[in-house]
Structure 1
Amino acid sequence: MSIETLKPFLASSYENFPKGRTIGVVVLRTTKSETIFRTEGTGEPMCSEYVQAGVENTESIPRLVMTKRKQVAPERRRGREFLRSHELLYTSKDQNKNFTCSLNTNHPCGDCIDCFLYGFAAGRGENIGSQKSRVWTEDAFSVLPSTELIGNRTLNAVYENGTMRLPGEAEDETKTSKGLNTSEYIKPGIHFLDIVTLKDVTADELRYALGNILLTSRYGAVSSRVGRMENQILGIFGGIAELPSSLELVQGVYDKLMADGKAIEHPFNTEALVSVTQSVIANWTNKRGISVQLSTDECDALIADVDHHWDLTEQETFLKRLDQSYASLRKVKSEGKKKERGNKQE
């Protein structure tokens, strides 16, 4: 079984101190609708960087960038939806008020699965502290140059009468609505290659993190309208070191495509890209510190195992079992707080 293959690189239980066990995951992210990745407001250009095209091909080309925050934030929120539905998000107290654990509110609980796995920064109130994330991400890069992958869309906001003018409401009835602008978007069918690193995780934490990746389907800005994306896991590795970076992977794939004489243009066939990517990562176990790569069958078995644990019939049992694995740590924390309060009273 694939979990057994990875056992030397999995923790038996959560530990406060790292022990150099690493699981590396190669992820292909493919846009299934128009998508927007930018760091500023409406009208700003898409995130892109000029980088070397390949390892051997030293030409500089612009590539679209899916920043690490654009990846991990939706995946965390997806996982937290299920934690919330099973009442597995805890509360913290600040100035005699209880705050349910939530992202970006300065009141992390420090006790839920999300806090233990993805980490949290110093908050306010009784749960002041921090936890470093054990899910390491990096920028994902598009395989093709960004010049071929971006389109422009003109947006307008019409009134309920179906026009840009609303008689009787505006001071100047000939004045049109200001809800008109042009915005860039990333075309459907764009491929981003990504590396996700899991540090010192247990088997259930691995299932939880992979489930979040596989179940998340919306990324970027205006995700209620656009941003559909499909995630595929192309490879899983175990070792004592990180895999090559996402950029190195993209560059290796680009060189292989050039060597095979394939036309590097959009739209690019997904199956062809999967095949080339798997041929590039096939020799990664020869790199220092990377010991094991799951075979295609083992990788499929692990994904089936993840799907089984996230199935509606098993989900509650799985999440509560994972949540219970941190119970002893919560007890230690609680006892520490009682001692602190006792010392203050003395």
Structure 2
Amino acid sequence: MSIQKLQPFLAEQYENFPKGRTVGVVVLRTTQSETIFRTEGTGEPMCSEYVQAGLLPEHDASIPRLVMTKRKQVAPERRKGREFLRSHNLLYNAPKGDTICALNTNAPCEMCIDCFLYGFAAGGEGAQKSRVWTEDAFSVLPATELIGDRTINAIFETGTMRDEKGNASTALNTSEYIKPGVHFLDIITLKDVTADELRYALGNILLTTRYGAVSSRVGRMENRILGIFGGIAELPSSLELVQGVYDKLITDGKSLEHPFNTDALASATQTVIANWVTKRGISLQLSTDEQNDVIADVDRHWSPEEQETFLKRLDESYAPLRKVKSEGKKKGKKEE
């Protein structure tokens, strides 16, 4: 089982103090529908930044690239995992009050899988730093190629754009959207995680399919893992990866027009990251077969037949930490 090859970079059990073990994951995120990534409300432009096009001197011109911010990645993935924790009664009551652990309520339970892995801070009696490190993901092509406009109209209950008196409906607003088939390259770093925590985090990435605003209508996305690394340091940044892939595509004479072939992009990306084992602090890259075995292992553990056993086993691995917290609270009360 190829996940065992990553064992030198995995923790045997959860520990409070970091020990410099990292597993890096390269993810290709491809929009499958219109998608909206913005920081403000309706009508605001898509998130984008001007950055250098490539790493080579001849590609040093600045271009606008779409940005999928770190929070827009990790929040939907956390919610996906929490769906299954909730279905198996693996979310706990917050320390203060009787509310079940939930995001954005300032009342984390501090005891569930999500709290231990993704961290918590606000509202609790302590803090836990996330061991799933993310960063902004960038589009490969310029933003100007990837954005369209959509006009939203008001439809009456008759199903038409005219009311009972025959008056025409007016446009509500015009909003930007990201086109289907847009590619974002992303780096995710897992710090001092156990094998089951690795399965949990990868499962959240592979199972999450909706991102951004209005995700009940748009925002469909496919996540594809292109590389898994082990080491004592982080992988190069998402921006460096995108710039390296841009250089590779230009050097190969590819026409960078939307829509761009996903398999061609994946191949170019895998060529670029194949050299990363020479980077300082990166010791191991799984082969394609080993990577596929890890993904198959994740799929098996998340299957309906094994999901409950897997999640309860991971949940029970934190039991000693919960006991320590509980004893600490009792001791504090006696001292008062």
TM range (shorter): over 0.9
Letter of the 1:279 counterpart: T
How far has the Cα of 1:166 moved from its partner?
A: 3.6
Name the SS of the counterpart of 1:184 in structure 2.
strand
Partner of 1:144: 141
Matched, 1:60 2:62: yes
Partner of 1:121: 121
Letter of the 1:115 counterpart: C
How far has the Cα of 1:165 moved from its partner?
A: 4.8
Letter of the 1:235 counterpart: G
Letter of the 2:113 counterpart: I
Aligned pairs for 1:41-120 (under 5 A) are 41-56=41-56, 57-94=59-96, 97-120=97-120
How far has the Cα of 1:159 moved from its partner?
A: 1.1
Residues 151, 171 of structure 2: 8 Å contact kept = no
Q: Distance in 1 between matches of 2:290 and 2:98?
A: 45
Matched, 1:27 2:24: no
Cα offsets for 1:212-263 (capped at 9, x unmatched) = 0000000000000000000000000000000000000000000000000010
TM-score by length of 1: 0.94
Matched, 1:318 2:310: yes
Q: Distance in 2 between matches of 1:166 and 1:91?
A: 50
Matched, 1:192 2:194: no
How far has the Cα of 1:129 moved from its partner?
A: 1.2
| Structure 1: gaps (5+ residues) | 168-172
Q: Distance in 2 between matches of 1:264 and 1:76?
A: 33
Following TM superposition, the consecutive aligned residue runs of length 4 or more in structure 1 with deviations greater than 4 angstroms are 173-179
Matched, 1:156 2:158: no
Name the SS of the counterpart of 2:141 in structure 1.
strand
Cα offsets for 1:103-149 (capped at 9, x unmatched) = 000100000000000001131xxx42110000000000000000010
Cα offsets for 1:81-107 (capped at 9, x unmatched) = 00000000000243xx30100000010
Partner of 1:214: 206
Aligned length: 334
Partner of 1:273: 265
Q: Distance in 1 between matches of 2:238 and 2:308?
A: 34
How far has the Cα of 1:161 moved from its partner?
A: 2.2
Superposition CA RMSD, Å:
1.2
- Paired-residue identity, %: 78
Letter of the 1:2 counterpart: S
Name the SS of the counterpart of 1:133 in structure 2.
coil
2:284 to 288, 292, 300: 292
